[in-house]
Chains A and B, each alone.
Chain A
Amino acid sequence: MSTSVGAGAAAAAAAGCGAPDQAVALPAGVDLTKETVIAGVVTAAESGEPVSGAYVRLLDRDGEFTAEVVTSPAGQFRFFAAPGSWTVRVLSRAGAGTASVTADRGVTEVAVSVAAD
């Protein structure tokens, strides 16, 4: 697990559902007037620490799998989606978690906390 806590944990603790302030850097050439980016940070509910190496799935409005990524050392993830309603589902060694998000063009941030069952 990463020990580079700081802003993500503080934001998650303070705001609960607030957007994390550790934005994921976008690749060069991504046109945010066209792309719908869903990004955020996975944290452990108990410690508030970011969870690296977590498996993050993007499910569509019917709960159907759309994509899966692995979080960065700072617990970050990012998807290129389309405007609409989505679910972010996380599996990790620190437990599982789910969050809903409604996205539009540009960057929509979502925080997900995970806890053991």
Chain B
Amino acid sequence: MSRDTALVSADWAEKSLGAPGVVFVEVDEDTSAYDAGHLPGAVKLDWKKDLQDPVRRDFVNKSQLEALLSAKGISNDDTVVLYGGNNNWFAAYAYWYLRLYGHRDVRLLDGGRKKWELDNRPLTTDPVSRPRTSYVAREQDHSIRAFRDEVLAAIGAKNLVDVRSPDEYAGRLLAPAHLPQEQAQRGGHIPTALNVPWSKAANEDGTFRSDDELRALYTGAGLDGSRSTIAYCRIGERSSHTWFVLHELLGHDDVKNYDGSWTEYGSLVGVPVAVGDEPGEAT
């Protein structure tokens, strides 16, 4: 994987609007953004309603995903270009999710909705309908998804990267500051986790920093490139952004996203938790 196969520029995207075999997909936390104006021809995915099981805390299963993508008019052979608000957090999450289910050609629009809007590029409220397809997903590829026991075993053994803001890492905030803070779980981070906020990987307009800048960022933070890495945040969306950087842009071999993230780990009984600005020790 590399920048050339994983990322597209806004210029490329604007020229490719309506091109056969290219499907633009907007993924948001709040889908009213799509409804108020989207890239011409883009379909929408709701990261929660479409991608999460409505009862259990887990993803929709293979056949549910097949039904969803078929209804959206997405084929196995299509190039899927994802974009969204929140600096592409949920678009990156959907990127990781579609890779998890084996979609071959997925791209992220560099800068997402924000750069597109700031550039004054075209948005429309025209309804979009694409002919139904018969999408066939693969079984989940767990080489890119981490579960809690694996995360516990990784303390002191693998790189753990906490990509939340420094205040969330330290336990001073429990959620990003656009959300209410009242939550049940404990504050802090997984002992030994490095804090490399996702935002350090992006420019102010939401585009990714250069490969050289990204390499310097993680090396400087003490990430040992020879070890396996698990990234986490609060619910796995910002860590998808960092997973994308490490695995897709920089080509690190073994990088997993822990989608349970702090909302799971910080509510587990008996697990070690570190508070404050230091990573803490493996015990």
Q: Are A82 and B173 in contact (CB under 8 A)?
A: yes
Give Cα A35 to B176, complex, Å: 13
A76 to chain B, nearest CB (A): 13
| Contact in complex: A65, B199 (CB < 8 Å) | yes
Interface of B is mostly: loop
- Number of A positions contacting B (CB below 8 A): 29
Given A38-B177, A66-B176, 14 additional A-B pairs, CB 8 A: A34-B182, A35-B182, A55-B114, A55-B118, A64-B165, A64-B197, A64-B199, A65-B199, A67-B179, A68-B87, A78-B178, A80-B175, A89-B204, A91-B114
Query: Measured between alpha carbons, how far is A67 from B87 in the docked complex, in Å?
Result: 10
Among candidates A62, A79, A89, residue contacting B178 with C-beta atoms closer than 8 Å: A79
Does B178 lie within 8 Å of A68, measured CB to CB? yes
Contact residues on B (Cβ < 8 Å of other chain), bracket: 20 to 34
By DSSP majority rule, is chain A's interface helix, strand, loop, or mixed? Answer: strand
| A24 CB, nearest partner CB in chain B, Å | 12
A30 CB–B CB distance under 8 Å: yes
Q: What would 13 A/B residue contacts be, using CB atoms closer than 8 Å? A: A34-B181, A35-B182, A57-B204, A64-B197, A65-B199, A66-B176, A66-B177, A67-B177, A67-B178, A70-B85, A81-B177, A89-B204, A92-B118
A-chain residues with CB within 8 Å of residue B283 when the two chains form the complex: none
Give the shortest distance, in Å, between A67 (CB) and chain B (any CB): 4
Is B178 a contact of A69 with CB atoms below 8 Å?
yes
Q: Does A12 contact B (CB under 8 A)?
A: no
Please indicate the chain B residues that have their CB under 8 angstroms from the CB of A38 in the complex.
Answer: 177
Chain B residues closer than 8 Å to A29, beta-carbon distance: 180
Residues of B within 8 A of A66 (CB): 165, 167, 173, 176-177
Chain A residue with the shortest CB-CB distance to B120: A93
Q: Give chain B residues whose Cβ lies under 8 Å from the Cβ of A60.
A: 165-167
